[in-house]
């Protein structure tokens, strides 16, 4: 489904601020894979997501999705195939538009429709049914501006917008990190259900080591623009958080230095 071959990205090349963010990174995901990613600050996790989503073009290497080379496909075209959630729950929605209008834009874009098309009663009923599954009462607030919602409600809505028409790939960049624990767990449970029901191929960055080992079917650890650990199956199932930290040190050659990760064990 996703095939990344030896991609590299350097920011500010030839200057004192030169930063090699990705170095000959390769990764393959089969359809339906749910892969968690952990790593220190500056490891290249968000840069990898930006490269996949098309926020910039890589300097070297190639990216293919569902058998098509998307290496130089513009970001807005990739967005029809790739859903994405950020850590900031405010980034995925338009606050001055209603819940219904946000859903309509996401639905028509993903379905390759005209975003200015008229929404039918059938579409509105579909939106209400989808909102009802969030169990947040939003189906009764479809005419309300999204800016009135809480951060957790907006992140749940963003997840719904990204998966209402199942994408070929879903990128989750610490999408529960800014939420309170109870809301984060609710959004995480919703994530599990949506990804499983639609068999969405998913990459999820998390700072929670326990989540990294228990969510999905595979775990990656990144350091200095490389993947230093890739585990799945029985090896992953039998691994503790301490084991994972030790394996990171062995692969990266240094201690894991992200305090948020170490505190979330």
**Range from 76-85, 119-128, 134-143 carrying the lowest mean pLDDT:** 119-128
Q: Higher model confidence: residue 260 or residue 12? A: 12
pLDDT on residue 127: 93
Q: How far is CA 131 from CA 85, 140, 155, 159, 243, in A?
A: 17, 9, 13, 11, 40
Distance CA 258, CA 256 (A): 6
**Structural domain total, the chain:** 1
Average pLDDT of span 167-181: 94
Is 216 domain-assigned? yes
138 domain residue, yes or no? no
pLDDT of 121: 86
Band of pLDDT at residue 193, cut at 50, 70 and 90: very high
Give the per-residue pLDDT at 247.
87
Has residue 165 been placed in a domain? no
> Average pLDDT in the 146-152 region?
95
Average pLDDT over residues 19-45: 95
Does 113 score more than 60 pLDDT? no
**Residue 168 domain-assigned (yes or no):** no
- Residues with Cβ within 8 Å of 94's Cβ and at least 6 positions away in sequence, in order, are 101, 102, 105, 146
Of the candidates 53, 62, 57, 46, the one whose C-alpha atom is nearest the C-alpha of residue 10 is 57
State yes or no: pLDDT of 210 exceeds 80. yes
pLDDT of residue 202: 98
Q: Return mean pLDDT, the chain.
A: 91
CATH number of 61's domain: 3.40.50.300
- 51 domain residue, yes or no: yes
Residue 207 belongs to domain spanning: 1-75+201-265
In a domain, 257, yes or no: yes
Please give the Cα distance from 202 to 83 (Å, whole number): 9
Mean pLDDT, residues 119-128: 88
For residue 119, being part of any structural domain is answered with no
Q: What is the pLDDT of residue 259?
A: 53
Per-residue pLDDT, 40: 86
b vs e for 48-77, b when ≥16 Cβ sit within 10 Å of the residue's Cβ?
A: bbbbbbbeeebeebebebeeeebbebeeee
Q: 123: burial class by Cβ within 10 Å (0-12, 13-18, 19+)?
A: middle
For residue 161, what pLDDT is reported? Answer: 94
pLDDT confidence of residue 112: 59
């Amino acid at each position: 489904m996703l095939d990344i071959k030896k991609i590299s990205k350097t920011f500010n090349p030839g200057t004192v601020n030169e930063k090699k963010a990705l170095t000959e990174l390769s990764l393959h995901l089969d359809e339906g894979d749910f892969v968690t990613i952990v790593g220190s600050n500056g490891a290249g996790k968000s840069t990898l997501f930006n490269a996949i989503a098309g926020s910039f073009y890589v300097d070297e290497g190639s990216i293919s999705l569902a058998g098509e080379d998307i290496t130089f496909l513009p970001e807005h075209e990739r967005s029809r195939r790739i859903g994405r959630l950020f850590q900031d729950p405010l980034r995925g929605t338009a606050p001055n538009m209603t819940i219904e209008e946000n859903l309509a834009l996401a639905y028509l874009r993903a379905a390759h429709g005209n975003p200015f098309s008229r929404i039918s009663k059938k579409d509105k009923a579909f939106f209400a049914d989808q909102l009802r599954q969030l169990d947040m009462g939003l189906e009764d607030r479809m005419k309300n501006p999204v800016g009135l919602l809480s951060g957790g409600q907006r992140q749940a809505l963003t997840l719904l917008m990204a998966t209402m028409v199942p994408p070929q790939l879903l990128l989750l960049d610490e999408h529960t990190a800014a939420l309170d624990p109870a809301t984060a767990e609710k959004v995480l449970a919703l994530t599990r259900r949506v990804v499983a029901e639609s068999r969405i191929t998913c990459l999820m960055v998390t700072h929670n080591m326990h989540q990294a080992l228990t969510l999905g079917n595979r775990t990656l650890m990144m350091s200095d623009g490389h993947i230093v650990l890739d585990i799945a199956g029985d090896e992953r199932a039998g691994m503790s958080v301490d084991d994972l930290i030790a394996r990171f040190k062995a692969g990266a050659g240094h201690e894991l230095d992200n305090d948020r990760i170490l505190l979330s064990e």
